[in-house]
Amino acid sequence: MTAMWQESDSTAFSLAKSQAQKSFDEGGIPIGSTLVDKRGEIIGTGHNQRVQLADPTAHGEVSCLRNAGLRGNYADCTIFTTLAPCAMCTGAILLFKISRVVVGEATTYTGDLERLREAGVEVVLVDDAECIELMQRFIAENPETWNEDIGEGV
């Protein structure tokens, strides 16, 4: 299987980036996510809410899945995230058998994209300069918040 960017991904990816920017503007961690079904319909969006809700589990992807509500299965879905998923979010993708993941960047945080690929998930890495810039700006200003969000707190 070749992991490829599709023209129809633009809207959902832009929405994920808007969610990241929204979180940043609120003083939160700038990671956004969108869930789309096979027809390209937006099922849910969300962003990291660690700062806003004092909820350590409210990563971008988890918030997106939460906002999307209940669903029988996710086999035909694509989840977009501005940053490579952490172990928890990777686990959520595998649990719900989401078949395709579009990742904005894996430079700031590498995640474990190989684990997804090995499980047969199609992973598209966009390597988006704006995603990288926003994350690195947040981390430079809030290193402690970021470290705690990825389990590296002291």
Catalytic annotation, residues: 61
Is 33 or 82 the residue whose CB approaches a copy of itself more closely?
Answer: 33
Q: Per CB under 8 A, does 86 bind a copy of itself?
A: yes
Q: How far is CA 58 from the centre of its chain?
A: 11
Nearest approach in angstroms of CB 129 to a copy of itself is: 27
DSSP codes of every residue in 6-65: -TTHHHHHHHHHHHHHHHHHTTS---EEEEE-TT--EEEEEE--HHHH--TT--HHHHHH
Nearest to 98 by CA among 111, 87, 89: 89
Give the range of 1-9, 13-21, 92-100, 124-132 binding a copy of itself by CB under 8 A: 92-100
- Answer for which of 76, 95, 110, 133 binds a copy of itself (CB under 8 A) is 95
Binding site for a copy of itself (CB under 8 A): 50, 54-58, 62, 65-66, 68-74, 86-92, 94-97, 148, 150-151, 153-154
